[in-house]
Amino acid sequence: MLSRYWHPVAFAAEVTGEPIGVTLLDEPLVVFRSNGRPVSSRDIRPYRGAPLSQGWLENGNIVCPYLGLAYNSEGR
């Protein structure tokens, strides 16, 4: 039930040029800025289950540290 509400997970100054891993309600999340807009997503690759927070940002997309696949702010 609590997952339907807004929860602070980081200060705006912390969300800069690198993705950061946070935990909210026992759910690992990755927080980053995509073209200046704050974004949060599940901190897990869709395959193999590794954390995306270990990746980097490139052209507003988060890049998987293992295979180099990039995901936009909508997860595509």
C-alpha angle with apex 30: 26 to 33, nearest 5 degrees?
145
The answer to whether 30 and 19 have CB atoms below 8 angstroms apart is yes
pTM for the whole structure: 0.83
Q: 27-63 burial, b for 16+ CB within 10 Å, e for fewer?
A: eebbbbbbeeeebbbebbbeeeeebbbebbbeeebbb
What's the pLDDT tens digit per position in 12-52?
A: 999 988 999 999 989 999 999 998 899 988 898 767 778 99
pLDDT at residue 75 in the model: 78
Show the domains of the chain with their CATH numbers.
2-71 (2.102.10.10)
